[in-house]
Structure 1
Amino acid sequence: MRKALDTLYLASGVLAALFLVAITLVVLAQVGANIIGKVNQWVTGEPLGLVVPSYADFTGWFLAASSFLALAYTLRAGSHIRVELLIQGARPRLRRFIELWCCGLGLLASGYFAYWAASLTWESWSFGDVSFGMVAMPLWIPQSGMTLGLIVLTVSFADEVVRILRGDMPSFDAKEADLADSFDDTPADR
């Protein structure tokens, strides 16, 4: 089960990165079209008017998908902003309680948002909603990235709650501990 969950979080992170690459490619295509148009205007006196249809819509959807799909991966990697200063001096039992409370609250919040995002995506699919841009995209397609990201984040929070209840260190603390240990090692220690 651990390997399957870690693969899920990694796949979500890889998808997020691919959406960032897609943003770059769409923007570069539009910039290239603008350059070709300007060069043609300079040479012939007339602009070509080349555009990537709905490029602003697509880059916005790709950004939303990338942001939401990256949430679970970054949580597991210990990259979310946390107020470590407030709990670093706490006794282990109190710290465990605070982390359980925070992860439980994160589980409830992400589950709530995942439910409503899935409901919105389902409604868009049921009603056949489409975007208003040059390319009439069915809205359930871009909404799916957000929904999937929230579902994977909810699974990740549930995973963290179970880890804490079993007495294990949360994965984000384990990553921070590994990072701190790597800074504590000096060349003489190795």
Structure 2
Amino acid sequence: MLSKVLDRLFTWSGYLAGIFLVLIGILVVAQIIARMLNTQIPSVDEFAGYSLAASSFLGLAYSFRSGSHIRVTLITDKLSQPVQRVVLILVLLFALTMISIWSYNAIYLVYESWLFNEVSTGIIKYPIWIPQISMGIGVVLFCLALLEDLIRVVTGKTPNFEKNQERMAED
């Protein structure tokens, strides 16, 4: 049940990341047209940059879950299955620890920006926590994806990223 909820959450996060990618394209085309008309759209490069960050962070959990993250298995493939499992648990534990720290700091950054009413420095002024929140949400979702796969491996199941990577290889 929880796995299905997380799957939907990560999928929607991936869709949202895709929407931000499309938004980047729209902003770039709009700025090109504006320049052809001898004008500019204020802060469009800033919004495109925030869209890129949102797309990157919101896509982390989805791409991890689907097996799209790059993994180097040159050494681990030569190990026995039990040793591979131990190494995978250690790597997932290390990654979870690092991403948990990052999640805490990302959410704290958003909270501080909100608390101090920090605004952007560009031409268009807006609360800076609004574009920052995509980083906080994306990293927390990535942390949840790592935690779920760690639990799966510890309980003897195949991690989602390997399961989905195998499915993609079959297609």
TM-score, normalisation: structure 1: 0.86
RMSD across aligned positions (CA) = 1.1
1:179 CA drift (Å): 3.7
SS of residue matched to 1:83: coil
1:56 CA drift (Å): 1.0
User: For residue 162 of structure 1, what is the aligned residue in structure 2?
Assistant: 151
User: For residue 108 of structure 1, what is the aligned residue in structure 2?
Assistant: 97
Deviations 1:126-176, CA, capped at 9 Å, x for gaps:
100001101112110010000000000000000011100110011111123
The structure with the larger Rg is 1
Structure 2 distance, partners of 1:25, 1:177, is 35
Structure 2 distance, partners of 1:24, 1:178, is 31
Structure 2 distance, partners of 1:72, 1:86, is 25
* Seq. identity, %: 36
1:91 CA drift (Å): 1.2
User: For residue 33 of structure 1, what is the aligned residue in structure 2?
Assistant: 34
Deviations 1:76-134, CA, capped at 9 Å, x for gaps:
11111111112112211111111111111111111100100100100000100001101
Superposed counterparts of 1:20-169, under 5 Å: 20-37=21-38, 50-169=39-158
- Give the total of aligned pairs: 170
Structure 2 distance, partners of 1:59, 1:85, is 37
Alignment-mate amino acid for residue 5 of structure 1:
L
Structure 2 distance, partners of 1:145, 1:179, is 28
Alignment of 1:6 with 2:7, yes or no, is: yes
User: For residue 172 of structure 1, what is the aligned residue in structure 2?
Assistant: 161
SS of residue matched to 1:8: helix
1:177 CA drift (Å): 2.6
Structure 2: unaligned runs, 5 residues or longer: none
CA contact (8 A) 2:68 2:165 kept: no
Alignment-mate amino acid for residue 16 of structure 1:
A
Moved more, 77-86 or 139-148: 77-86
SS of residue matched to 2:157: coil
